[in-house]
């Protein structure tokens, strides 16, 4: 005998993420979920972002890593509130992990909460954490074919930071190819070309982020 069920496998995570969202909204807080493969520059982008914005916005960071707290130590040095989640092997953050971590902050005192996800171009795309927007980083050393190889991540994210553009002379990846491939998957994606090393292009990313925070506050 067959019994119809028709339930979404991710329903529990989606429900917790929606509850997180409601809590963030009641605190008037903008939340961004930052994703990329390992080594693309998530923490470096955060350091630059914090440096530019910390006088104007009150920022909190949730660091997700499988092990260790190197990233959280880097962020703490940058001078903002930070909490480390160690997933002990899990390849992504989920709504429940964020629920526990967010209680470490005085949410009403924050304007912007940045969630740095576990480095991975696949799994984090399936798990909402309660964010306003997802953003991702692709570094030019990873190659310009990545949007087509990992389409879900590029479809789910609202913004793409192309990092390490200072290395373009030394790699085969072309910015135009990345842009063309992204346009096929997500024509509304905001794209920023930056080098966290030299600081080039960071201001455009900062302007976009600030605008998102302002719009959410209205």
Partner 1 sequence: MHEMALVQNIIDIVLQEMDKYEVEKLQAINLAVGRMSAAVPEQLQMCFEILTTDHKLTGTKLNIRMVPVTYKCWECEKEFTSAGITFTCPFCESPNPEIIFGRELKIESIEVVD
CB of 154 to partner 1, least distance (A): 11
CA 30 – CA 41 distance, rounded (Å) = 22
CA 126 – CA 94 distance, rounded (Å) = 9
Cα maximum dimension of the chain:
65
Q: Read off the tokens for 140.
A: 């030019």
In the bound state with partner 1, the residue whose beta carbon lies nearer, of 151 and 201, is: 151
Phi-psi region of 196 (alpha: psi -120 to 50; beta: other; left: phi over 0): alpha
In the bound state with partner 1, the residue whose beta carbon lies nearer, of 91 and 168, is: 91
User: Quick check: 164 and 140 in contact, CB under 8 A?
Assistant: yes
In the bound state with partner 1, the residue whose beta carbon lies nearer, of 122 and 175, is: 122
CB of 2 to partner 1, least distance (A): 5
In the bound state with partner 1, the residue whose beta carbon lies nearer, of 90 and 167, is: 90
CB of 150 to partner 1, least distance (A): 9
CB of 77 to partner 1, least distance (A): 31
In the bound state with partner 1, the residue whose beta carbon lies nearer, of 11 and 55, is: 11
CB of 75 to partner 1, least distance (A): 25
User: Quick check: 50 and 59 in contact, CB under 8 A?
Assistant: yes
The four Cα atoms 202, 207, 210, 214 give a dihedral, to 10 degrees, of -170
Return residues touching partner 1 (CB under 8 A).
1-13, 90-92, 94, 122-123, 125-127, 148, 151-152, 155, 183-185, 187
Q: Read off the tokens for 74.
A: 């880097």
CB of 182 to partner 1, least distance (A): 11
Q: Read off the tokens for 98.
A: 């964020």
Determine the 3-state secondary structure of 77 from DSSP.
Answer: helix
Run of H or E including 171: none
In the bound state with partner 1, the residue whose beta carbon lies nearer, of 109 and 148, is: 148
């Amino acid at each position: 005998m067959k019994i119809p069920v028709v339930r979404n496998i991710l329903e529990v995570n989606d429900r917790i993420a929606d509850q997180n969202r409601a809590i963030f909204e009641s605190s008037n807080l903008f939340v961004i979920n930052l994703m990329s493969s390992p080594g693309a520059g998530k923490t470096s982008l955060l350091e630059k972002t914090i440096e530019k914005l910390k006088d104007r916005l009150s920022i909190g960071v949730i660091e997700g890593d499988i092990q260790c707290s190197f990233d959280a130590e880097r962020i703490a040095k940058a001078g903002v509130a930070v909490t480390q989640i160690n997933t002990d092997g899990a390849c992504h953050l989920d709504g429940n992990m964020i629920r526990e971590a967010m209680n470490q902050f005085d949410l009403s005192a924050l304007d912007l909460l940045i969630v740095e996800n576990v480095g991975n171009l696949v799994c984090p795309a399936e798990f909402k954490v309660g964010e306003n927007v997802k953003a991702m980083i692709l570094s030019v050393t990873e190659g310009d074919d990545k949007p087509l190889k990992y389409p879900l991540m590029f479809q789910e994210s609202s913004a793409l930071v192309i990092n390490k553009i200072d290395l373009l002379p030394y790699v085969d990846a072309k910015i135009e190819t990345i842009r063309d491939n992204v346009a096929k998957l997500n024509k509304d994606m905001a794209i920023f070309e930056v080098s966290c090393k030299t600081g080039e292009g960071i201001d455009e990313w900062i302007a976009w982020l600030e605008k998102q925070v302002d719009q959410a506050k209205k």
